[in-house]
Chain A
Amino acid sequence: MKKLFTVLSLLAATLFSSSWVSAAADLDVNTPAIAAIKNSMQARHAQLSPHYSSGAVGLTADGLVAVRDATAVPLKDRGGINSLVAAENGDRTALYKEIAVGNGHPEWAGEIRSTFAGRWVDKAQSGWYYQNAGGWVKK
């Protein structure tokens, strides 16, 4: 009985702490670093947008982007698509880290990343692809 109680209280503590994290983290916190990353992502978005629409690039379940179907990219842009995706993922990873730092809790980066993964999918235009447990899904 005592053991069961310990397990239950541990479980409750875990649930409580994780919901507390997402409730407490200010995802819109602004610092010069976050502003710089957002600017850089915004500038890149014009280049990425046609690739989201064509299905060449999709949103992954872990808050990043990935090349889904290179054949949807015009030949002349095909070589650049990988570096475009790599640069975007560099910025996204930095963004999650900086939002966690901006909240004074660098250890929250993982949690913030998963929250953002859902946010990106919600914000995605219809026709864009995102990844779930079953694979790529067209929104």
Chain B
Amino acid sequence: MLRLLLICLIFIGFTQQAAAISSIQITVGEVNAPVGQLKNAKFQVDLKGAQPTLILNADLKPTNEKEFAHFDLKCGQFLTEQIGQAQCLNGQFKSKQISAPFSVNFVSHPSDFALDIDFNGANFSDEAGLHAGEKLTGQIKMAAKKIISTDTWAWDGLISWTAGELYWQPFYFGKAGNTFEINGTFKQDILNIQNASLLVNEVGKMQATATINIKTKIVEDVKVSAKDVDFAGLYAVFLKPMAEKSAFGNMEVSGKADWKFEIKNFAPTSFELNLRDANIEDKNGKFGFSHINAHIPWDYDEPKNLQLAYKSGHLLKIGLRETKLTAEINRFSLTAPKLDLPVLDGALSLSDVSAVRLGDNWAWHLRLDLVPITLNEFSKALGWPTMKGQISGQIPLVTYANKQLNMDGAMTFNAFSGSISMNDLVIDDPLGVAPRLYADLQMRNLDLGDLTRTFSFGAIEGKLDGDVKDMVLENWKPVQLDASIQTSDGKHLKKISQRAVENITALGGEGTAAALQRTFLRFFKEFNYEKIGLSCKLRQDVCEMGGVESTSTGYIIVKGKGIPAVNVNGYTQKVSLEDLLGRIKRITDSNTKVIVN
């Protein structure tokens, strides 16, 4: 350090006697200083012309770097009119990672100094490209004064840039027009930023304080707060880069926000986000909420109460109505005795909610009561044929852990004057790219009249039971199930229309549908039946079909009764699911849609 200082003194001394000397050249083999090492330094001041120039080439190795890096510094116009003052105009600094045209004005007195740097179209990047700037134009002003009594430097600075872009992992500042005003103190390795006022384009004004240990490079304490800033800018610049891998990493947002956080020794200790009349919409369409008012606090040391309210929203295509939620956040867990989520015309009533963050994932469990949602609304939301009935259910325990959702209990759909219940539902990776669902379904006493009218199948009167066992859906498409439907036991009207007979015949395979038309049976509009049944044992894409009874050539789907009796037989034992669904679609599409009210 001493050697470096000596060289500087020699340099200043010489320049004061410029009249007698036309150029100075100093070559230094090596300089060691606490901040780093300098070697092969060549320093040249040329005073011959009207504008003195300065050139410095050297290899520099900051203490924390492994290798020396070459740099060239040139001042196109170098002025030192008084002792302690230096001006470098039309300067150019070049190294492997920095290219910066600049001008500097430096004024130094024994106990204070001021440094003004103007840069114009500067580029820099570290080796990994994690901190980089391109075409930056702006200003750095810095002044410091030593307070002798306390041996402390008091300093203030202003950084502003008017053009260019900056990436400071993980944040990107693409719009120029940012101004940072900073002041603080420096005493023995501790750099104290007492107040930083950061005006960030598109976001607004933010305040920050920080304490940095220069020697250990540990940022001991950082506090940042922003009041009433634009939520869209705050999200784009600061929140999105941090939420990139979560479900909240790809949203369109608007509204106003307050934001503050505190970091001690690189670990966050507190956080608060307040949203006022904000809107968020997932760009993949998975969720959206409008008119959100929220108070989301978090503190490492003490429990906090979260409040969240929205006017409306949606999860996938299901509409959510006005909701107010409160919960307690305690370090990495969230609990709420009761959360009511109005959904469509009913509600999901969650109780004993408990969630915990484990590493990067959440695990949670809750009790779910479905306040009845009418099927009319539900089917409309999903774009299904309009249905009558309702969905209800109580599920004593819903758990989510290791990306798996489990329901212990049954969800019941009261539809078509009967019931459909879903048991033992498990969904693997529900939000992932290829979710897998496992469940059993039980259908009892479905009214065939309602059902066939809803799906435009041709009228059938009667009651139907069904069981779907070991159902597996991959990406919501069935790949395995053992399904069977058959006429319910008990006394009820059993009639099937000619159209339905034709459609069921078409289900069993092409070509046989016309058979009925060739016989006298075409004069009858409807027939009595004893039993209807169809089964499908699906493995991957192949469905092994069956009916109410087996015959030597196939199976019976509709077993007729009385006179005239019509039997509908199926002959195709194995059919690809794609073909079967195609047939059903063709049948229901070709019939007029009937809406059940």
Residues of chain A at the chain B interface (Cβ within 8 Å): 31-37, 40, 69-73, 75-76, 78-80, 82-83, 86, 90-91, 94, 98
Q: Is the CB of B475 within 8 A of A75?
A: no
Residue of A32, A72, A90 contacting most chain B CB atoms (<10 Å)? A32
The 17 listed contacts between A and B (C-beta, < 8 Å) are A32-B473, A32-B479, A33-B474, A34-B434, A70-B128, A70-B129, A71-B132, A75-B174, A78-B129, A79-B167, A79-B172, A79-B244, A80-B244, A83-B244, A91-B433, A94-B432, A98-B434
A73-B129 CB under 8 A given contacts A37-B434, A79-B169 = yes
Interface residue from B129, B432, B473, B476 paired with A69 (Cβ < 8 Å): B129
A76-B165 CB under 8 A given contacts A36-B434, A37-B434, A71-B125: yes
Q: Does B576 contact A (CB under 8 A)?
A: no
Task: State whether B129 touches A37 (Cβ < 8 A).
Answer: no
In the assembly, what is the distance between CA of A3 and CA of B249, in Å?
A: 60
A82 touches B244 (CB 8 A): yes
Given A31-B540, A37-B434, A78-B132, output 19 extra A-B contacts at Cβ < 8 Å.
A32-B434, A32-B473, A32-B475, A32-B477, A33-B434, A69-B129, A70-B128, A71-B128, A71-B129, A75-B133, A75-B134, A75-B166, A76-B165, A76-B172, A76-B174, A78-B129, A78-B167, A79-B167, A83-B249
Chain B residues with CB below 8 A from A37, complex form: 433-434
Q: Given the complex of chains A and B, what is the CA–CA distance between A90 and B429 in angstroms?
A: 12
CB within 8 Å for A40 and B433 given contacts A75-B166, A83-B244, A83-B245:
yes
A32 and B474 within 8 A (CB): yes
Distance A75 CA – B132 CA, assembled complex (angstroms): 8
Q: How far apart are the CA atoms of A33 and B477 in the complex, in Å?
A: 9
Interface of A (DSSP majority class): helix
Instruction: Tell me, in angstroms, the Cα distance from A90 to B432 when the chains sit together.
Output: 9
Partner of B474, one of A31, A71, A72, A79: A31
The answer on a CB contact under 8 Å between A70 and B130 is: yes
Residues on A with C-beta less than 8 A from B479 are 31-32
> In the complex, what residues of A have CB within 8 A of residue B133's CB?
75
Please give me the residue from chain A that is nearest to B164 by CB atom: A75
Question: B106-146: which have CB < 8 Å to A?
Answer: 125, 128-130, 132-134
Whole-angstrom distance between the alpha carbons of A31 and B249 in the complex? 29
A33, A94, A98: most-surrounded residue (chain B CB, <10 A): A33
Q: Which of A36, A72, A73, A82 is the one whose CB lies under 8 Å from B475?
A: A36
Write the B456-480 contact mask toward A (1 if CB under 8 angstroms, else 0). 0000000000000000011111010
Q: How many Å from the CB of B3 to the closest CB on chain A?
A: 35
A78 adjacent to B172 (CB under 8 Å) = yes
Q: How far is the CB of B178 from chain A (nearest CB, A)?
A: 14
A76 CA / B171 CA spacing, docked (Å): 9
A78 (CB) vs chain B CBs: closest residue: B167
B536 CB to closest chain A CB, in angstroms? 17
B171 touches A79 (CB 8 A): yes
Chain A residues contacting B249 (CB-CB under 8 Å) are 83
Chain A residue at smallest Cβ distance from B429 = A94
* A33/B475 contact (C-beta < 8 A), A75-B132, A83-B245, A86-B245 known: yes
Complex CA distance for A40 and B128, rounded to whole angstroms: 29
- What residue in chain A is nearest B432 (Cβ atoms)? A94
4 closest A-B pairs by beta carbon, nearest first, are A71-B129, A70-B129, A33-B434, A36-B475
Chain B residues with CB below 8 A from A31, complex form: 474, 479, 540
Query: Which of B167, B171, B475, B540 lies in contact with A35, CB distance below 8 A?
Result: B475
Q: What residues on A are CB-neighbors of B130 within 8 Å?
A: 70, 78
Q: Does B436 sit at the interface, judged by CB under 8 A?
A: yes
Contact B165 A75 (CB under 8 A): yes
B170 within 8 Å of A (CB atoms):
yes
Beta-carbon nearest neighbor of A83 in chain B: B244
- A3 vs B130: C-alpha distance when bound (angstroms): 57
Minimum distance in angstroms from A95 CB to a CB of chain B? 9
Q: How far is the CA of A95 from the CA of B171 in the complex (A)?
A: 32
Q: A residues within 8 A CB of B172?
A: 75-76, 78-79
- Per the 8 Å Cβ criterion, residues 302-354 of B in contact with A are none
Q: Enumerate chain A residues within 8 angstroms of B170, measured Cβ to Cβ.
A: 79
A32 proximity list for chain B (CB < 8 A): 434, 473-477, 479
CB neighbours of B474 from chain A (8 A): 31-33, 36
Bound-state CA distance A52–B151 (Å) is 55
Chain B residue contacts of A90, Cβ below 8 A: 433
Does B52 lie at the interface of the complex (its beta carbon under 8 Å from any beta carbon of A)? Answer: no
Q: Does B241 contact A (CB under 8 A)?
A: yes
The answer on a CB contact under 8 Å between A33 and B436 is: yes
Minimum CB–CB distance for A72 against chain B, Å: 8
Contacts of A34 in B (CB 8 A): 434
Q: How far is the CB of A28 from chain B (nearest CB, A)?
A: 14
Residues on B with beta carbons closer than 8 Å to the beta carbon of A94: 432-434
Point out the residues of chain B lying under 8 angstroms from A69, CB to CB: 129
Contacts of A35 in B (CB 8 A): 475
- Rounded to whole Å, the gap between the CB of B404 and the closest CB of chain A is 15
* Chain B residue, CB-CB nearest to A56: B129
Q: Which residues of A contact B244 (CB under 8 A)?
A: 79-80, 82-83
